[in-house]
Structure 1
Amino acid sequence: MAEAEMCLHCGGYDVEMFVDVPDEDLICSICKGVLRCPVRAACHHIFCKKCIMQWLKRQQTCPCCRKPVSQSLIYVMFKLSKAIGRLKIKCRNEIRGCRTTFALSEQYCHSIVCPFELISCPFQGCRAQLLRRDLEVHSQHCEHWRQPCHMGCGTMLSQSTRTQHNCYQDLRRQYEVRQQSHRAIAATLQRKMRKMQNTMAHMKRQISLICESLQVMDDLEEVIEDEEEPVIGPAGSITNSNSSS
């Protein structure tokens, strides 16, 4: 069973976690742990699903009787899985002081509330590892503690500022800062508006001058055309109006 030893603890539950010693029929012959998601092969031997699937990657025979095993003829044993789920286990935090026992199927539900569960401080920058039951006390003194004001003013508080925090003063200070910002923006817009008005007035003057210049040019062209019109003289002779008589 050298190959079976290679799969030790690869699929089943650790026997030591159970309150009572599990029955031999509930032990996986591959990993030597209590069956996790038990499946039965055609030869009626039972294994953890993960264990037998890994075994069949190397050889297609039963690790117990060496008979051929086909993946298509492996069946999940739901009733046995439920029976194993009812077995009593010890909390994984027993070494830290938890003496609670519960059904295997309730392991996750207990782990999320167990006061002896080792967890990380939730505040960014703090690397402390502590028991869940100590988290509240730690939070009251953690230098990385950061939370928004519970009154809803939006101010992010720290351990050093939350005792002196005053929502009214902070809101008034924020209001004054915004007012100053708005006044500065309004003044800038007014300056830009005056500059645009001056530019428009200058452009109007330039356009007016251009129009006057064009009118003068038109009048001058008319005068020149009038002076250059031919005059019919005696006996039908044509002379220029500018030529001397």
Structure 2
Amino acid sequence: MGFDVNRFRGEVDEELICPICSGVLEDPVQVSNVLQAPVCEHAFCRICINEWINRQPTCPLDRTPITSAQLRAVPRILRNLLARLCISCDNILFGCQAVVNLDGLISHLEECEYNPKRPVPCEQGCSLVIPKDELKDHNCVRELRNLIQSQQQKLMEMKKELGEQQFQINEQRREIHLLKDFMRAMRVSNPAMRAIADQMERDEVMRWSATLPRAKVTRWGGMISTPDDSLQSMIKRALSEHNCPPHIIEELMKNCHERKWPPGLNSLETRQNSRRQYENYVCKRVPGKQAVLVLHCDNTHMPEDMMVEPGLVMIFAHGIE
């Protein structure tokens, strides 16, 4: 629907009037040239012409067949003429005497102090932002109670959705475990399947390794060669939380102690002799912990006396970036 003509200062050209609602054009469009039909370029309010076309698909002025798909924005010159018109504020009945250009009406209404729907903060204690005309009936306790109930409802819906997602994840994990159990059984009974299963497990480790961030060890001297049980449990939990393949997690945790390290690392003396080779390790960060993974799949370039399958877990007191 167009703007009431009586709100404008001065004369309004007939070309700026919507033929349907007889108001000044609002969001104006015109009917473009139609193939195999006479030219029709009459301008209308967008809402007015769409409602008209829904009832009868012809131009209300010359009865040319038209569709909504043939509506286009009016030329810039017409938009400029509309923008320069001076219109009184929507809130004139509430005391606003402002007269603004039509293209500035929206921004004025957002800031108009007479706008009954202008959002304002409650000054009675709850600080909720509400429409100005609702202040007189506003009750802080009631509104806060409604807000809490609304948030509780949303929380319940989120918990339900998370529960459904967790159920789906658990089902997928169960199916994966069943598949792995099947593959392990086939590996025992069928040499060919054994090779396939081994390759699948190696591929799984490589995919997991690709999801971990690279790490740089700046102080190899901070390495903890004999971590206690609580420290090992913390690292194991972190690996599990970040989807470490179950078939290697126990081996990795055994390999975090120097007694399981390869010959080049299994004593203080050999570690000191091998320090020049440390920088060649490709290390992956154990997320959130002062520990790195040195996986065999990432370090095939390293000498045999510096690597073990499926890899090493190195825990540090400091010195990791």
What is the TM-score when the length of structure 1 is the normalising length? 0.43
Q: RCO (CA 8 Å, sep 6+): is it higher in 1 or 2?
A: 2
What is the TM-score when the length of structure 2 is the normalising length? 0.34
